[in-house]
Structure 1
Amino acid sequence: MTEPEKLQGLPQSSPNDPTTQALAVRNLSKSYGNSTVVNTINLDIPKGSIYGIVGPNGAGKTTMLSMATGLIRPTQGSAWITGYNVWEEPDGAKRAMGLLADGLPVFDRLSGMELLAYVGALRGLEEKLVHQRSVELMDALGLAEAGTKKIVDYSAGMTKKILLAQALIHNPQVLILDEPLEAVDPVSGRLIQHILKNFAQAGGTVVLSSHVMELVEGLCDHVAIINKGIVEVSGHVDEIRKGKSLTDIFVEIVGGGALQEGSLSWLGSSEGRA
């Protein structure tokens, strides 16, 4: 299948006014020396959507979201969150968003409840309201019995859930999540998806990056596929799939996935073992 054939008929979203979107980026780029990780990306994420960002490892998804949320300064381009320019109006953008970013430092010497109290105070919430929301979030996420336990002693899945609670505590307009269900057990994963659906139905916007196509296909109403630093295709999930599975579309666009004949033929063979 040639490149034009792969992309024929797949929709590309045309840029709208970025200040009317939940999250928008224009000509967003990031280079390190001679290596371009993100290459002039334009993307609109409408309010009230659950928007999936997918792509192979090293495609630029995390870098793009890090620039869009103010964690990494872009080489060029701009980003807006609920109309606020992330780099020119950072206070407004940060108030509007809740962020779960993969790999950021965690105040893990605090207990779960202490972390939420700290974040709530930073967000300017009243102490009584922070406590009420913290109890509800810990209970909903299955962390009620771990409230006084230090985060350093949490499992990977528990840590992911307390970071989600941290992102939700101030009831943001836009929730941006990088691999939110990684290391989370299936029961908690289903609860988290229910929380995210309710959040979007109430008027919030969810932006999530994930490698799990089944999650994106079952949860998201919009999707963008990023490959080699560019947006290959973006739009409503049904328009992207056109009757196929999202996994099939992903493989068609990204390519690869087939093992060359004879490759790794030594695996499982008794010959050549040390």
Structure 2
Amino acid sequence: MANFEQIYDIIKAVDNIDLVVNPGEIFGFLGPNGAVKTTTIKMIVGLLSHDTGEIKVDGIDIDKNPIEVKKRIGYVPDSPDIYDKLTGIEYLNFIADVYGVSEKDRKERIEYFLEAFDLKNAIGDLIQSYSHGMKQKLLITAALIHNPSVWILDEPMVGLDLKSAFLLKELMAEHTKAGFTVFFFNTRLGSCRKAVR
């Protein structure tokens, strides 16, 4: 649930957004470049503050309990800028440590996603050697490693090959079937339509 604004100087960048995304829903947020989609998403995940109103995730107010909200979110940003000097597996274990994922659960989830996204052979390499698409797949894996109740993706298909894009859509559908929420942002209507079928 969200109702908020963001003001830069005298311009309202985000003007009184009022929306509710329910558990079990895939919600596509569509708009052209410059439509403040990324600004909105950064406020929801707590990377930017909002000037008025409130943002709640799973009924928890992000202003009052930001850490608890962030524990419930899996976030894939619009640009895969991650720690280039770590290997892929070091990065995934770092994220799993941040979220307190047990050794058993992280091992199972990492193995599943590495197999699904065809990253097994590269997971021991430095991230700086990865292509854009490989970094995107690593970010998706990291975002799901703690099994979040709310999965938020900003332009998730960019850089993905066809097989991985299809898998991502299946993962989004599976996530909602488990009673969780998927909230994704996109500039292209076609990608949104295909994702919610």
- What's the TM-score, normalizing by structure 2? 0.95
Corresponding position of 1:132: 108
CA offsets 1:124-158 (integer angstroms, 9 cap, x no match): 12223222211211111121111111111111111
CA offsets 1:154-192 (integer angstroms, 9 cap, x no match): 111111110010100000001000011101111111111
1:216 aligns with 2:189: no
Could you tell me whether the CA contact under 8 Å between 1:117 and 1:127 is conserved in 2? no
SS of the residue corresponding to residue 53 of structure 1 reads strand
Alignment of 1:1-80 (within 5 A): 24-26=1-3, 28-80=4-56
Correspondence for 2:149 among 131, 156, 173: 173
Corresponding position of 2:84: 108
Shift in CA distance, 104/188, structure 1 to aligned 2, threshold 3 Å: closer
Q: Which runs of 5+ in 1 are unaligned?
A: 1-23, 222-274
Rg bigger for which structure?
Answer: 1
Could you tell me whether the CA contact under 8 Å between 1:141 and 1:192 is conserved in 2? no
1:158 aligns with 2:152: no
Could you tell me whether the CA contact under 8 Å between 1:175 and 1:207 is conserved in 2? yes
CA offsets 1:72-115 (integer angstroms, 9 cap, x no match): 00121210110110111112211111111224741121111111
Could you tell me whether the CA contact under 8 Å between 1:54 and 1:209 is conserved in 2? yes
SS of the residue corresponding to residue 159 of structure 2 reads coil
1:219 maps to a residue whose letter is A
How high is the sequence identity, in percent, across the aligned residues?
Answer: 31
Corresponding position of 1:185: 161
Could you tell me whether the CA contact under 8 Å between 1:117 and 1:131 is conserved in 2? no
CA offsets 1:11-38 (integer angstroms, 9 cap, x no match): xxxxxxxxxxxxx111x11111122210
Aligned length, in residue pairs: 197
Instruction: Point out 4+ residue stretches in structure 1 off by more than 3 angstroms.
Output: none
Could you tell me whether the CA contact under 8 Å between 1:52 and 1:216 is conserved in 2? yes
SS of the residue corresponding to residue 45 of structure 1 reads coil
Shift in CA distance, 69/167, structure 1 to aligned 2, threshold 3 Å: same
CA distance in 2: counterparts of 1:66 and 1:148, whole angstroms: 30
Shift in CA distance, 215/104, structure 1 to aligned 2, threshold 3 Å: closer
Could you tell me whether the CA contact under 8 Å between 2:27 and 2:183 is conserved in 1? yes
Could you tell me whether the CA contact under 8 Å between 2:114 and 2:120 is conserved in 1? yes
CA distance in 1: counterparts of 2:9 and 2:114, whole angstroms: 44
Could you tell me whether the CA contact under 8 Å between 2:55 and 2:62 is conserved in 1? yes
Could you tell me whether the CA contact under 8 Å between 2:80 and 2:135 is conserved in 1? no
Q: Which has the higher contact order (CA 8 A, sep 6+)?
A: 2
CA distance in 2: counterparts of 1:104 and 1:215, whole angstroms: 19
Q: Report the aligned-residue RMSD.
A: 1.4
CA distance in 1: counterparts of 2:158 and 2:80, whole angstroms: 15
CA offsets 1:233-273 (integer angstroms, 9 cap, x no match): xxxxxxxxxxxxxxxxxxxxxxxxxxxxxxxxxxxxxxxxx
CA distance in 1: counterparts of 2:153 and 2:62, whole angstroms: 17
CA distance in 1: counterparts of 2:83 and 2:53, whole angstroms: 32
SS of the residue corresponding to residue 20 of structure 2 reads strand
Corresponding position of 1:262: none
Correspondence for 2:170 among 194, 201, 204: 194
